[in-house]
């Protein structure tokens, strides 16, 4: 099967391959250590940009969560808070329990400090427009999340495939969110300037409803406001998680903002009773039953105690009577313990019932109700 070598030749070959792979891996780690040591040296000299390059190269060669800590420190020194927070967050997530509590507290404090220098840009523009911030592409509209940037001035640009583009300067404040709306200039077709674009806001009080616009999926509710569209009639479709689907036509006028309500309404919050309330009532009923049993037991045992007192006053030294009184006293003591236990059980049950009922919340129906047509409101021009 293996020619003249047989197994005696295969084993050395496999061993040689494993040895070579181990040596190659060891060589890669050695290179990573060299880059890391070089990065530390450069950082100590204040050359943070070059140090960051060395740290990045070391982590690319041999990924190690500890390198991310040094990268985060370099980003802090270079005044790049967004990248610093990203590096520190990866360090905490990848390091996990291997990071000491002291170091974790230090890094978490650094993250909080850097976040005060980070602003969020909610960029609203025409669907499918390419969006860039300071010349760097960040995706196509609508963006899935706000863009995080360093506090200060930034240039936001949007561009359609046919070349129509628009830009705006934004002075972003750390720790705040800024809404940036860019209505693309009216395109020119055959020498004619087309009407100014319109803005459509889709509003729906029911979550996780799928929304389509002219056959293309926009996403799931709640949606960001401010879809910039060409004037005219557009088809907006809705589909619930339970399969109900319907479409509405909306007429958009040039330069105006229109709000479209999906017409769905969640079921009243009081439509169903929560299971927690049911349990609360059951536990309360049990507590009342145990409490009643404790009260009856107490009355029964008290009557026995009164009988013991009466017989003790009439006791005249008869040994048989003395033994009977002692036995009754012991029984009364044991019964008192049972009464206390029943009382405690009743109290615990009633207390638990009260907590369950006070903290219970109604469970709304998950089936939205489409009772009214969507409402259209025009908020004016811009």
Instruction: Tell me the pLDDT tens digit for each residue of 141-196.
Output: 889 899 999 999 999 998 887 667 888 888 999 999 999 888 775 554 444 444 55
Least confident of 16-30, 47-61, 119-133, 260-274: 16-30
Residues 129, 39 share a domain = no
Q: Give the best-scoring range by mean pLDDT among 169-173, 196-200, 261-265, 378-382.
A: 169-173
Of all residues in the chain, the percent with pLDDT exceeding 70 is: 78
pLDDT at 100: 94
133 confidence band (pLDDT: 50, 70, 90): very high
Burial bucket for residue 309 (CB in 10 Å: 0-12, 13-18, 19+)? exposed
Residues 250, 172 share a domain = no
Rounded Cα distance between 77 and 237, Å, is 50
Rounded Cα distance between 139 and 205, Å, is 28
- Give the H or E element holding residue 39: helix 6-44
Of all residues in the chain, the percent with pLDDT exceeding 90 is: 28
Residues 74, 15 share a domain = yes
Q: Is the pLDDT of residue 128 over 90?
A: no
**Mean pLDDT in residue range 99-126:** 93
Residue with tokens 């806001």: 201
Chosen domain end from 137, 168, 188: 188
- The model's pTM is 0.47
- For residue 273, the tally of other CB atoms under 10 A from its CB is 12
Q: Give the best-scoring range by mean pLDDT among 85-89, 208-212, 278-282, 334-338.
A: 85-89
Chosen domain end from 188, 204, 224: 188
Q: What average pLDDT does the chain have?
A: 78
Provide the number of structural domains found in the chain.
Answer: 4
Q: Please check whether residue 366 lies inside any domain of the structure.
A: no
pLDDT at 76: 95
pLDDT tens for residues 334-373? Answer: 888 888 888 888 788 888 878 777 776 544 444 454 443 4
pLDDT at 338: 83
Rounded Cα distance between 206 and 366, Å, is 9
pLDDT at 185: 56
Residues 152, 33 share a domain = no
pLDDT at 48: 92
Domain extent at residue 158: 118-188
């Amino acid at each position: 099967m293996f020619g003249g070598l047989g197994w005696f030749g295969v084993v050395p070959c496999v061993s040689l391959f494993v040895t070579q792979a181990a040596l190659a891996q060891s060589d890669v780690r050695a290179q990573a250590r060299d880059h890391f040591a070089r990065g530390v040296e450069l950082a100590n000299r204040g050359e943070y940009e070059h140090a960051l390059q060395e740290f990045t190269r070391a982590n690319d060669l041999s990924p190690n969560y500890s390198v991310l800590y040094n990268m985060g420190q370099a980003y802090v020194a270079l005044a790049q808070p967004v990248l610093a927070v990203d590096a520190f967050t990866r360090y905490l997530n990848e390091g996990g329990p291997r990071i000491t509590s002291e170091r974790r507290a230090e890094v978490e404090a650094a993250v909080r400090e850097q976040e005060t220098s980070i602003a969020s840009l909610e960029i609203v523009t025409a669907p499918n427009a390419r969006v860039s911030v300071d010349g760097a592409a960040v995706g196509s509209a609508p963006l899935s999340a706000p863009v995080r940037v360093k506090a200060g001035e930034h240039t936001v640009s949007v561009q359609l495939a046919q070349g129509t583009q628009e830009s705006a300067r934004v002075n972003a404040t750390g720790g705040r969110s800024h809404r940036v709306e860019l209505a693309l200039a009216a395109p020119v077709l055959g020498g004619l300037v087309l009407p100014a674009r319109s803005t459509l806001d889709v509003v729906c009080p029911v979550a996780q409803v799928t929304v389509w616009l002219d056959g293309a999926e926009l996403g799931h509710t709640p949606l960001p406001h401010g879809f910039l569209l060409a004037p005219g009639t557009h088809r907006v479709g809705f589909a619930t998680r339970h399969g109900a689907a319907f479409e509405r036509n909306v007429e958009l006028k040039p330069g105006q903002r229109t709000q479209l309500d999906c017409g769905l309404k969640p079921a009243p919050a009081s439509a169903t009773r929560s299971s927690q309330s049911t349990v609360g009532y059951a536990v309360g009923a049990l507590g009342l039953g145990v409490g009643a049993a404790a009260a009856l037991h107490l009355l029964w045992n008290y009557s026995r105690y009164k009988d013991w007192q009466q017989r003790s006053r009439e006791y005249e030294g008869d040994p048989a009577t003395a033994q009977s009184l002692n036995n009754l006293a012991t029984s009364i003591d044991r019964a008192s313990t049972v009464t206390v236990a029943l009382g405690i059980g009743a109290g615990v049950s009633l207390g638990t019932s009260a907590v369950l009922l006070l903290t219970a919340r109604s469970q709304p129906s998950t089936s939205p109700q489409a009772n009214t047509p969507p409402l259209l409101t025009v908020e004016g021009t811009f």
